Amino acid sequence: MSLDNPPEVPPEPSFIINNDELNDDTQTIFTDLYTTVIYLNRFSKTQMNGGYLQISYFMPSGTMRPNATYMSGVNVKKYKCAKLYIFKATHRITMDSNFDGELVVELIPIVNTSEKLYLCFLLKNTRYNNNGPNDIDELIQNSVKPPMHYDTMNFNLQNIIEPKQKKIIYKSGIDNVVIFLSPISINEVDFSSYSTISEGLFSIYPVNSQYKMILPSTKEGFTESFREGLDEGVVNSQLTKLFEKNLVTCSPVDYNDKNDNTAVYLADTSREKVNAQSAIGTALIVMFVAIGTSFFLSPQIFRFGLAKMISDGEKLTFASGIIVFVIFILGLSLALDGISYDSDQTWAGAFILIFLTLSAMSVSIYRQLDPGKYAEVDFAFFELSKIVTFMKDFFSSMNGDDGKMIAIISCALMGIFILIGSTLSLFPSIIEKEKKKKGYTDHLRGLVISIGIIYGIMLAIWIAMIIKYNR
């Protein structure tokens, strides 16, 4: 074969959108890409550094509204945003209008499954735009020279998307790819130096050549199975308006729910305000309760629970350290786990950590104001040599009664953790969360078991130290 005449690379297949045989009324997708904050100092890729744009794209914490809902028959999957990309035009589509670039939103499932959803929005250069620059224009402009330090912009993609338009949907492995076919007008951008969409992100064309067309509908996704219990007049006269304003999402009807119309969920801007106000109110309550209990209660617990029982300064320090460490492990575990799974856990963990810190400060203040009431805590004890000597003396001095007490406490703790883990599914608040987030109870049970294992390891170390120094 002559190198002067290399074989021609066949062009990528083209999507044909005017074939009625491809229309599919069993699949529906609608979006709710409401206003969020983009951190402009977090560009992972730019046109100069990578050939395309990539930036984190997620919604404010505490909001429960999905950003996209995909319905196939009676199956419903909800997604939240993760990343945003901008490439040069990559998909080959046979249609009347042309486009110059593509904005891709990567979404991940709200529940813990692995399949992703990619939304592709076509971008068209417009020399004269009567509406002025939009949020996409501002994002591209900021990508030219991203700020080095913290800087943000408000970004609302939903306002830029045409509400009723044709869409192409196809599979890329286990992921779904949706192409919105009405191009978005943007200020002129030279996409010639941008990269095309990488096959590592998703396939540009379905491997099996199978794809479908989703046609626009005023009642998109609201099938007959979701209309039970609704007044027909509401469905016909009001539902279309709600969909046009992107105020309705659909979920399968929960037949165990006592409410009648569980299929309709209104998510307007007032809900965001209520969520924000609720979060602020919760934070204030947590702070005031933590301050009050730590300032008035903790010093008394320290005085009557520890200081009166332990007169030796080193032993008092050791006992205080063990108690603080045990509580710290509990608070830290709840706070870190809650960040990714449940905000209520985060609040509980934050309360414990704040309470612990303020309690230590309160005890210190009380000791300075009235030192006679409290045993001295020897802070010089924290020298390594003194700790080693103390550990030998402490564990070697433990007798049979101490061992029995430790065994009783250990059995009690194990019983508490087993009781909590086995009865989690009976708590009303956990039952409600299980309805909203499948697998929540199992996740919480795993967290309880993990904390129990940590405490068990601490107990095993304690027993090993007793055995070691009593030989």
Pairing relationship of beta strands 15-16 and 93-94 according to DSSP bridges: parallel
Cα gap 69→450, rounded to integer Å:
34
Cα gap 265→262, rounded to integer Å:
7
Helix axis angle, 313-340 relative to 440-469, nearest 10°? Answer: 160
Q: Of 88-92, 147-151, 199-203, which gets the smallest average pLDDT?
A: 147-151
Residue 269 has pLDDT above 60, yes or no: no
Q: Report DSSP letters for 300-365, one per residue.
A: HHIIIIIITT---HHHHHHHHHHHHHHHHHHHHHHHHHHHHS-HHHHHHHHHHHHHHHHHHHHHHH
The one-character DSSP state at 253 is: -
Cα gap 193→260, rounded to integer Å:
55
Measured CA distances, 124 to 136, 193, 215, 277 (Å): 12, 16, 21, 40
Residue 205 has pLDDT above 90, yes or no: yes
Within 122-213, residue ranges assigned H as helices are: 135-144
For residue 187, the SS3 value is strand
pLDDT digits (tens, 9 = 90+) for 84-110: 999 999 999 998 889 999 999 999 998
Q: Of 158-162, 299-303, 432-436, which gets the smallest average pLDDT?
A: 432-436
Q: What is the pTM of this model?
A: 0.49
Residue 230 has pLDDT above 50, yes or no: no
The one-character DSSP state at 111 is: S
Number of DSSP helices (H) and strands (E) in the chain, helices first: 11, 16
Give me the mean pLDDT over the 200-217 stretch: 91
pLDDT digits (tens, 9 = 90+) for 298-345: 777 777 766 666 666 666 677 777 777 878 887 887 777 776 666 677
Cα gap 256→278, rounded to integer Å:
27
Which residue ranges form the domains of the chain, and what is each CATH number? 15-216 (3.10.200.10), 287-469 (no CATH)
* CB atoms closer than 10 angstroms to residue 190: 10
